[in-house]
């Protein structure tokens, strides 16, 4: 297990579309271990493989609060198969866009099909924070960031701010 570097906006690799996992082998298991270690170290509640520069359709989630026991969840080749017409707005943040938060409107409920760590097909119906988190992480697998769901004006400001920070650091 290793803590990996999390890609930060405006890194172009965040816009890559992930490829399906064909086989759950030692390499994928190591990737998942690294995702968990990196996510917990950050700390965050979700992390997609694309956020560490790996173009695989995998992400990890743990919504347990600090005082609760960990509840690690793995989603391999996830896809939203249903979403509610009803929408809700939640404040979102992202480990790839540190210290920026914004209200994002998404469906209240989703049904997601995925493979578990053993390669078994699973399905979860989610609402609340889990529904928001699943949609956010699945977006990452398509190269979509949560700022793509906010106004163009706000999005352009955020991108400009992070691009300036990169220039200053180099």
Domain total of the chain:
1
Structural domain contains residue 106? yes
Q: Could you read off the pLDDT of 137-155 as tens digits, one per residue?
A: 999 999 999 999 999 999 9
CA distances to 6, 155, 168 from 164, rounded to whole Å, are 18, 14, 6
Q: Give the confidence band of 166 by pLDDT, cuts at 50, 70, 90.
A: confident
pLDDT of residue 39: 98
Residue 2 resides in a domain: no
Question: What are the tens digits of pLDDT across the range 12-39?
Answer: 999 999 999 999 999 999 999 999 999 9
pLDDT at 170 over 80: no
Q: What pLDDT does residue 91 have?
A: 96
Q: Show the domain range for 112.
A: 12-169
Q: Report the predicted TM-score, pTM, of the whole model to 2 decimal places.
A: 0.96
The pLDDT of residue 82: 98
Q: Is residue 83 part of a domain?
A: yes
Give a yes or no: residue 115 inside a domain. yes
- Token digits of residue 146: 């949560």
Q: Looking at the domain assignment, is residue 4 inside a domain? A: no
Closest residue by Cα to residue 94 from 47, 127, 57, 128: 47
pLDDT on residue 149: 97
pLDDT of residue 159: 95
Active site members:
137
Residue 36 covered by a domain: yes
- DSSP letter (8 states) at residue 56: B
Long-range contacts of 72-75 (CB under 8 A, 24+ apart): 72/36, 74/32, 74/116, 74/117, 75/112, 75/114, 75/134, 75/137
Q: Is residue 152 part of a domain?
A: yes
Write the CATH number for 26.
Answer: 3.90.45.10
For 60-98, the pLDDT digits (tens) are 999 999 899 999 999 999 999 999 999 999 999 999 999
Assigned domain for 163 exists: yes
């Amino acid at each position: 297990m290793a803590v990996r570097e999390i890609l930060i906006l405006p890194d172009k690799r965040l816009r890559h579309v992930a490829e399906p996992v064909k086989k759950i082998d030692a390499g994928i298991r190591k990737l998942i271990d690294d995702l968990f270690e990196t996510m917990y170290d950050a700390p965050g509640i979700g992390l997609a493989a694309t956020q560490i520069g790996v173009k695989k359709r995998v992400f990890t989630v743990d919504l347990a609060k600090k005082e609760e026991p960990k509840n690690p969840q793995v989603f391999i080749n996830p896809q939203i198969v249903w979403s509610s017409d009803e929408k809700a707005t939640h404040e979102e943040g992202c480990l790839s866009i540190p210290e920026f938060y914004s209200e994002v409107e998404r469906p209240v409920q989703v049904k997601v099909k995925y493979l578990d760590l053993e390669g078994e097909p699973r399905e979860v119906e989610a609402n609340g924070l889990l529904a928001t988190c699943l949609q956010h992480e699945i977006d990452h697998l398509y190269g979509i960031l949560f700022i793509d769901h906010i106004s163009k004006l706000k999005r352009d400001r955020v991108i400009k701010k992070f691009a300036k920070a990169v220039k200053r650091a180099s």
